[in-house]
Amino acid sequence: MKKNIYSILRGKFLISDDSFKNWRIIIFISFLAIIMIASSHSADKKVHEIARLTNEVKELRSAFVDGRSKLMRLKMESSIINKVAKKGIQISEIPPTKIRVKSNQE
């Protein structure tokens, strides 16, 4: 047992006569490790991209809500009355009436 451990630590399995099988396995495991590291980096990059896009969506949503609330304030009748009063336009005291046109082609 002690002899086997020393032979592994000294690397005799890499230079022995049947070392070609060992080298194939070592290269295969190294290749798998490189693929695993690359996929891990790719996954981390995607997680960071998702976090960045989530923050951007939150910012855009808050800008949209802010713009919508400003629009609602601008569309209010009282704000429109104040703005047109500065230009000398007043509200009509007579309410509008509907005009109905009867067509002869009925």
In a domain, 72, yes or no: yes
Dist. CA 22–CA 28, nearest whole Å: 10
In a domain, 99, yes or no: no
> pTM score, two decimals?
0.56
Model confidence at 16: pLDDT above 90: no
Condensed to tens digits (0 to 9), the pLDDT of residues 63-83 reads 999 999 999 999 998 888 888
Q: What is the number of structural domains in the chain?
A: 1
| Averaged pLDDT score across all residues of the chain | 88
Q: Residue 77: exposed, middle, or buried by beta-carbon count in 10 A (0-12, 13-18, 19+)?
A: exposed
In a domain, 33, yes or no: yes
Retrieve residue 59's tokens.
């910012």
Condensed to tens digits (0 to 9), the pLDDT of residues 30-58 reads 999 999 999 999 999 999 999 999 999 99
In a domain, 50, yes or no: yes
pLDDT at 36: 98
Given a contact cutoff of 8 angstroms between Cβ atoms, the answer to whether 91 and 81 are in contact is: yes
What's the Rg (C-alpha) of the chain? 39
